[in-house]
Amino acid sequence: MVLSCSKEETGSEIPSISYSGYEKFQNGLGKDSLLVIRFNFQDGNGDIGYTEADTNSPFRIGEPYFYNLHNDFYGKMNGAKVYYIDGFSNDTIRYNQRLQSITPEGKYKGISGSMELRVDFSLLLLNGYSPDKVQLELWLNDRALNESNRILTPEIDLDI
- Average pLDDT, consecutive stretches of 10 residues, N- to C-terminus, the chain (160 residues): 53 95 94 95 95 94 94 83 81 91 89 95 83 93 97 93
Neighbours of 147 (CB within 10 A): 14
What is the per-residue pLDDT for 157? 93
Q: What pLDDT is stored for residue 8 in this prediction?
A: 47
User: Given this model, what pLDDT does residue 41 score?
Assistant: 96
Domain range holding 89? Answer: 3-157
Q: CA quadruple 118, 144, 60, 73: dihedral positive or negative?
A: negative
CA distances from 95 to 73, 100, 111 (A): 8, 16, 24
Q: Say if residue 58 is preceded by a cis peptide, omega within 30 of 0.
A: yes
Q: Judging by DSSP bridges, how do beta strands 32-43 and 16-26 pair with one another?
A: antiparallel
Give exposure, 104-117, as e/b (b: 16+ Cβ within 10 Å).
Answer: eeeeebbbbbbbbb
| Whether the model pTM is above 0.95 | no
Identify the helix (H) or strand (E) that includes residue 90: none
* CATH value at residue 115: 2.60.40
Q: What is the pLDDT of residue 10?
A: 58
d(CA 21, CA 154): 9
pLDDT for the residue 76: 78
> Contact 97/68 with Cβ under 8 angstroms?
yes
Q: Pseudo-torsion of CA 95, 39, 137, 64, nearest 10°?
A: 50
Count of domains observed in the chain: 1
